[in-house]
């Protein structure tokens, strides 16, 4: 036996998974409430004690971890044009597992500087201009950042012609220099920035979060948790040189505060008559909806969907919906199995709405435009229509008694026909919450991680394009 321990320091729960590398199987998993506000090691030790009750005492070959504790990795981004360098920088940071707390375009204003000063980020990603292009904006922003009293890590990934000036202006900041995220118009180069974000996470952010107190127990804290999940689903889709993956896929992670969506695939137009507009989309893409969650961010779902429609879908009166939402907000750690029938219906509706809204925001859109040559179709963003697999993860999806219904919310809908979501897909459930653990393991043993995911993810069945109930009733 070759046991290894994989740890995910989550914002709410610390999850531990024991894996036998020799047998390529999961020995057991457990979790405990994350004690980030005091000593994060207390929650870890409790989770380890619960794991030992299942597996017995084990001598681990290594102990590897990821973390999103204490709010995750907060990154601010600045770029020149919202649709170009600022968007390229945003995609780079999200793909590295960051939580984008602000995106600035053009020159930083006095209000922007006040916001940065009052709530400094873990990392500031400074971009702007193609190489040899506009250098005034990024140089001006560097000068304005230098005027702040706060100091925080800055990654420079903009016009290389402005590098000398920016290095001089930011000499007393912890400064990392990367290649431009958009060296030429429309060309993305985000991997170097993602690598540096992860390095800074290890060197600086982990210590600031208090995780360094547990480092003597670990062989290494490898990455932010969202980066681990993106690594896992990318491996699962593409496979290794020795073993194929399962093909292009979408993964949806619904949490209490945010909903993350991952897609792995090219996402190009699937018809020669469709014109693509905007930046090329990353093969492995992550988006995070900070206003969509089933506990702390319920209000975001209500604002997006509307209280009357939510109440109707949960078979509740609107007034009763408001009461139950207050109950969930006051008790964010309440699990579905601990609830009454009304709360279970509401929980299911909230999760379904979170999947629907988040996948719509992640997917590209198709619109009809008129050109001198006549009408044409324009695609902006990533095309998911041909993706045939959806992976569900996150507590509200894992504990659902109707997960296939939730998976259907990620598909094409007659209510939003412009959204380029899949027509049909096989749904898989991360029943034991192993994706983050497998993303960590993939850093050392990608083949083993791939085979464990293939074996452990639970098939739910195939779901098909949906027609919203009220429209179906109207045509009957």
pLDDT, one tens digit per residue, over 40-88 is 778 888 999 999 999 999 999 999 988 876 566 789 999 988 878 888 8
The whole-number pLDDT of residue 469 equals: 41
Within the chain, all domains assigned CATH 3.30.420.40 are found at: 3-70+213-218
For residue 451, is pLDDT > 50? yes
Scanning 119-155, the segments in alpha helix (DSSP H) are: 136-146
Query: How far, in Å, CA of 307 to CA of 343, rounded?
Result: 15
Please state, in angstroms and rounded to a whole number, the distance separating the CA atoms of residues 16 and 51: 7
Copy the structure tokens of residue 470: 């009220």
Give SS3 for 271: coil
Contact residues for 470 (Cβ-Cβ < 8 A; gap 6+)? none
Closest to 406 in 3D by CA, of 465, 348, 457, 467? 348
- From the number of C-beta atoms within 10 Å of its C-beta (0-12, 13-18, 19+), residue 161 rates as middle
CA distance 156 to 126: 5
Q: When comparing pLDDT for 131 and 219, which is higher? A: 131
**Mean pLDDT rounded to a whole number for the chain:** 89
Strand order in the sheet with 99-105: 99-105, 74-79, 123-126, 154-156, 175-177
d(CA 386, CA 220): 38
The 8-class DSSP code of residue 158 comes to: S
Residues 107 and 104: their CA atoms lie apart, in Å, by 8
Contact between residue 102 and residue 109 where contact means Cβ atoms under 8 Å apart: no
Cβ contact 256:297 at 8 Å? yes
Mean pLDDT along residues 154-162: 96
> Do 39 and 94 touch, CB atoms closer than 8 A?
no
pLDDT for the residue 388: 92
Which pLDDT belongs to residue 200? Answer: 85
What's the gap between Cα 117 and its chain centre? Answer: 26
Which residues, other chains included, contact 115 with Cβ-Cβ below 8 Å and sequence gap of 6+? 102
The backbone torsions φ and ψ at residue 334, rounded to the nearest 5 degrees and listed phi first, read -70, 125
Listed in sequence order, the residues at least 6 apart from 203 whose beta carbon sits closer than 8 Å to its beta carbon are none
Is the pLDDT at 452 greater than 80, yes or no?
yes
Structure tokens at 256: 């209490």
pLDDT at 288 > cutoff 50: yes
Q: Where in the chain is the domain with CATH 3.40.50.2300?
A: 73-203
Residue 470: per-residue pLDDT: 41
Closest residue by Cα to residue 15 from 40, 34, 2: 34
pLDDT given at position 213: 64
The reported pLDDT for the residue numbered 221 is 65
Q: What percent of the chain has pLDDT over 90?
A: 64
pLDDT, tens digit, 9 for 90 and up, residues 212-248: 666 666 776 678 888 999 999 999 999 999 999 999 9
* Beta-carbon count within 10 A of 229 CB: 30
Residue 443 in tokens = 């850093």
Is 3-70+213-218 assigned to CATH 3.40.920.10?
no
First-to-last alpha carbon distance for the chain, in angstroms, is 61
pLDDT on residue 471: 44
Task: Walk across the sheet containing 3-9 and list its strands.
Answer: 25-33, 13-20, 3-9, 63-67, 220-224
Cα 386 versus chain centre, distance: 21
Here the tokens at position 86 are 């600022």
Q: What is the predicted pLDDT for the residue at 220?
A: 67
Check whether 256 has a pLDDT greater than 90: no
260-284 pLDDT tens trace: 999 999 999 988 889 898 888 899 9
Instruction: Pick from 156-165, 177-186, 319-328 the range whose average pLDDT is largest.
Output: 156-165
In DSSP terms, 176 is beta-bridged to: 155
Element (H, E) at 114: helix 110-118
Determine what percent of the chain is predicted with pLDDT higher than 70: 92
Instruction: Could you please state the CATH topology (level 3) that the domain comprising 73-203 is classified under.
Output: Rossmann fold (3.40.50)
Residues with Cβ within 8 Å of residue 245, at least 6 apart in sequence:
235, 236, 237, 238, 239, 450
């Amino acid at each position: 036996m070759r046991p290894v321990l994989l740890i995910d320091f989550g914002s709410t729960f610390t999850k531990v998974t024991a894996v036998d590398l020799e047998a390529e199987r999961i020995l057991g998993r457990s979790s405990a409430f994350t004690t980030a506000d005091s000593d994060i090691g207390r929650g870890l030790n409790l989770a380890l004690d619960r794991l030992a009750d299942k597996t017995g005492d084990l001598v681990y070959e290594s102990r590897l971890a990821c973390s999103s504790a204490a709010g995750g990795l907060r990154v601010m981004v600045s770029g020149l044009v919202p649709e170009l360098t600022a968007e390229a920088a945003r995609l780079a940071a999200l793909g590295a597992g960051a939580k984008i707390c602000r995106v600035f375009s053009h020159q930083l204003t006095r209000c922007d500087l006040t916001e940065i000063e009052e709530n400094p980020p873990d990392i500031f990603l400074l971009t702007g201009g193609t190489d040899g292009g506009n250098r005034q904006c990024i140089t001006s922003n560097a000068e304005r950042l230098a005027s702040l009293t706060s100091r925080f890590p800055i990654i420079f990934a903009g016009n290389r012609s402005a590098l000398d000036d920016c290095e001089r202006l930011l000499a007393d900041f912890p400064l990392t220099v990367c290649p431009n995220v958009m060296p030429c118009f429309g060309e993305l180069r985000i991997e170097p920035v993602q690598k540096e974000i992860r390095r800074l996470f290890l060197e600086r952010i982990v210590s600031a979060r208090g995780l360094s107190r547990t480092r003597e127990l670990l062989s290494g804290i490898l990455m932010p948790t969202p980066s681990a999940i993106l690594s896992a689903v990318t491996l699962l889709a593409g496979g290794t040189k020795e073993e194929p993956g399962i093909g292009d896929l979408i993964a949806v992670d619904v949490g209490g505060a945010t909903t993350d969506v991952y897609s792995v695939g090219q996402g190009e137009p699937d018809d020669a008559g469709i014109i693509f507009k905007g930046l090329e989309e990353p093969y492995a893409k992550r988006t995070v909806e900070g206003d969509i969650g089933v506990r702390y961010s319920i209000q975001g779902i209500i604002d997006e969907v509307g209280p009357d429609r939510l109440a109707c879908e949960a078979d509740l009166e609107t007034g009763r919906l408001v009461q139950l939402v207050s109950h969930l907000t006051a008790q964010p750690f309440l699990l579905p199995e601990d609830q009454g029938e009304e709360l279970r219906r509401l929980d299911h509706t909230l999760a379904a709405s979170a999947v629907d809204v988040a996948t719509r925001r992640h997917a590209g859109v198709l619109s009809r435009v008129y050109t001198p040559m006549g009408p044409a179709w324009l695609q902006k963003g990533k095309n998911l229509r041909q993706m045939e697999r959806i992976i569900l993860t996150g507590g509200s999806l894992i504990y659902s008694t109707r997960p296939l219904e939730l998976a259907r919310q990620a598909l094409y809908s007659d209510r939003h026909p412009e959204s380029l979501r899949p027509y049909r897909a096989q749904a898989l459930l991360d029943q034991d919450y192993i994706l983050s653990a497998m993303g960590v393991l993939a850093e050392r043993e990608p083949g083993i991680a791939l085979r464990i995911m293939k074996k452990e993810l639970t098939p739910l069945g195939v779901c098909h394009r949906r027609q919203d109930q009220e429209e179906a009733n109207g045509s009957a």
